[in-house]
Amino acid sequence: MKKLGLVLFLGIILNGCSKERITFTYKTYEKKTTLPCEEGCTTTKVTIPIAHHSEIIADSINNKVFSVVKEIVYFGEKAYPSKDYNDLLASFINSYEEISTDFPEYDMPWEATIEGKVIYQTENLINIEMNHYSFTGGAHGYGGLRSILIDAKTGKSINNAHLFYDLKGFEQLAEQKFRKRFKIPSKDPINSTGLWFKNEKFHLPNNLFYNKRGLLLYYNQYEISSYAEGPIALLLPYQEVEGWLKLK
């Protein structure tokens, strides 16, 4: 009986811990070039939310955030093999300094900034927004929004396929709403107004955001339109889509 009582007690404790709300603090990392500069020096700055909970859940969330930051702060063909934020930012600065040293006439400063924040949180779902901008030469830089969707009970990231009971059915609904919002006749090709959907077929954006009013479909620049067109967004109120959502 004593052993049974101990098992039940531990079960209650563990179950209580698993239901604790995941909390976040914010931390900023910054690096600046050591090369002489007067104005517009090369800099990189990253502000990210840090999850606090059980070690497994917190590590899963924090590792996912770091992996997304690595996809944004880089130069070259692939991400830096950095193990932490300080090393990542130092690698970006080093890339600039190597080019600037090899080509003294090169005086165009680089920039990489990210502001991450938790924009939506329930007992089931966490949505982290990564607002980013980078410039490493060329006609202009590139900015955008990245969405990280997290299962609040496991700490694991969620892709679009796991958000909906019927992904194809939801895409059909989203296309109807999209065509209505942007005045694309149902019988016309989806790209008839100048959009760039691959193979003339509507698809959900790479980034979906939850907010108080509904589910935001957010297409970054170049995703389905030119840079000049800017991002394209469509908000679907919850009353129209909640029947499709597995998590909210």
pLDDT digits (tens, 9 = 90+) for 186-202: 999 999 999 999 999 99
User: Is residue 126 within 8 Å of residue 120, measured between CB atoms?
Assistant: yes
Residue 149: closest CA among 225, 75, 207, 87: 207
Q: How far apart are CA 5 and CA 71, in angstroms?
A: 49
Domains, the chain, ordered by start:
21-151 (3.30.565.40), 162-241 (3.90.640.20)
DSSP bridge partners of 28: 47
Say yes or no to pLDDT of 9 above 50: no
d(CA 189, CA 15): 52
- Residues 6 or more apart whose CB falls under 8 angstroms from that of 190 comprise 175, 179, 184, 197, 200, 201, 202
What's the rounded mean pLDDT across residues 69-97?
96
pLDDT of residue 203: 97
- Render pLDDT for 143-197 as a digit per residue (tens, 0 to 9): 999 999 999 999 999 988 889 999 999 999 999 999 999 999 999 999 999 999 9
Check residue 155 and give left, alpha or beta (phi > 0: left; psi -120 to 50: alpha). left
Whether 52 shows a pLDDT value over 90: the answer reads yes
